[in-house]
Structure 1
Amino acid sequence: MSEKDPLFEKTISSQPIYDGRIIKVKVDEVVLPNGKTAKREIVNHQGAVAVMALTDDNKLLAVRQFRKPLERSIIEIPAGKLERGEEPIECARRELLEETGYTAKVLTLLSSFYTSPGFADEILHLFVATGLTAGEAQPDEDEFVEVLHLSLEEARQLHAAGDIRDAKTVVALFAWEAKMLGFNHV
């Protein structure tokens, strides 16, 4: 975010469009590196976490839930948005418990990444959860999920069939595959 960056786009005006519970939308007018101006539609988001929870018998905890923008149910790893001032690791603990009923002895940050930097500032923190203990799920009142325990092969098949398509779960699936291949970064 430095004006010393030769690709920096200086904001000359900003117009708020929407201020919602999960996102804010604005349109910024910017000066491009060549001196011309352009408009940028921007979604602001507080950030989120996702949890790649692996059981002792090497199963991935996943949830199947309906996603209105897609008009269908998909399979995802547990995830949710950060509350204001909440630490990502605490959010990961909360979301894992709410969506699956499980708690983890160990939560390790695998990576943090921007989900769609072309139009949004959302950063997602991906955790690996191990040492799991089963309990009772505590979903939000507007959240309906089916908890799944997937082997790596089952997850691969669901990905191939189009049932696993969201970025966080695909990243987790590839990280899990890398771990199974002997890469030690997971």
Structure 2
Amino acid sequence: MTFEEKTMKTERIYEGRIINVRVDTVELPNKKYSKREIVEHPGAVGIIPITEDNKIILVKQFRKAVEEVLLEIPAGKIEPGENLVRCAVRELEEETGFTTDHVEKLIEFYTAPGFSNEKLHIYVAKNLKEGISNPDEDENIEIIELSMDEILNKIETGEIKDSKTIVAMLTYTNLYSKNR
């Protein structure tokens, strides 16, 4: 069975600082046509910072798109041509003030492939060195340190709703429990 859709026409609707939006006219495998609204995103990294006493550093911030304050792992957009590890370390330092020389890739995934091409790359950071945070001027962030059990409880109770944080923490927990 063929699943691919052939792009017949692309119309750029919006070009922004973080995203672009396009509408593709596609030919379906059954030779019919449809439109696909697609959000283009350069991709992002998320990082799980783990302190020496096994606390996870999260950031608390207001997210306008959902009109809520969310608890999340530090994360940010990949700049054009930027190395993924460098991006992860940069975001860690900007949002939390911590730096590290020990970063490992955990997982990568598409955030919402039904309408966006954003790919998120998750890293784990250990051997943290405390410094001074330098968030973007439009970011208001509070740093929170929680144990893994506290985080898993907050996921279970719905206090943590951010998908990248949920995927990152559950993946990390699953792999960690297998390697014990």
Aligned-residue Cα RMSD (Å) equals: 1.4
Quick one: which of 103, 115, 133 aligns to 1:137?
A: 133
Percent of residue pairs identical: 48
If the length of structure 1 is used for normalisation, what is the TM-score? 0.92
Q: Which residue of 155, 169, 184 maps to 2:179? A: 184
Secondary structure of the corresponding residue to residue 103 of structure 1: coil
- The letter for the 1-side match of 2:71 is I
* Secondary structure of 1:75's aligned partner: strand
2:4 corresponding residue in structure 1: 8
Mapped partners of 2:96, 2:27: distance in 1: 47
> In structure 1, what is the Cα distance between the partners aligned to 2:157 and 2:25?
41
Instruction: Determine helix, strand or coil for the equivalent of 2:127.
Output: strand
* 1:147 matched to 2:143: yes
Deviation for aligned residue 1:179 = 4.3
Three-state SS of the structure 2 residue aligned to 1:112 is: strand
The amino acid of 1:177's aligned partner reads T
Q: TM-score, normalised by structure 2?
A: 0.95
How far residue 111 of structure 1 moved from its aligned partner, in angstroms, is 1.2
The 1-side partners of 2:35 and 2:2 are apart by 19
Give the corresponding residue for 1:122.
118
Q: Which residue of 1 aligns with 2:47?
A: 51
Residues 14-163 of structure 1 mapped to structure 2, 5 A cutoff: 14-163=10-159
> After TM superposition, where is structure 1 displaced by more than 6 Å over at least 4 residues in a row?
none
User: Which amino acid is the alignment partner of residue 179 of structure 2?
Assistant: N
Distance 1:132 1:179 in 2: 21
Q: How big is each residue's C-alpha offset from its partner over 1:101-142, in whole Å with a ceiling of 9 and x where there is no partner? A: 001121011111111111110111100101111111011111
SS at match of 1:63: strand
Deviations 1:66-117 (A, max 9, x none): 0001111010000000011101111001000000000112101111111111
Equivalent residue of 1:154, what SS?
Answer: helix
Q: Tell me, what secondary structure is at the counterpart of 2:100?
A: strand
CA-to-aligned-CA distance 1:24-75 (integer Å, 9 cap, x gap): 0011000000000000000100000000111111110100000001111010
Number of equivalent positions = 180
Question: d(CA) in 2 for partners of 1:178 and 1:120?
Answer: 27
Deviation at 1:180, TM superposition (A): 4.5
Per-residue deviation at 1:163? 2.4
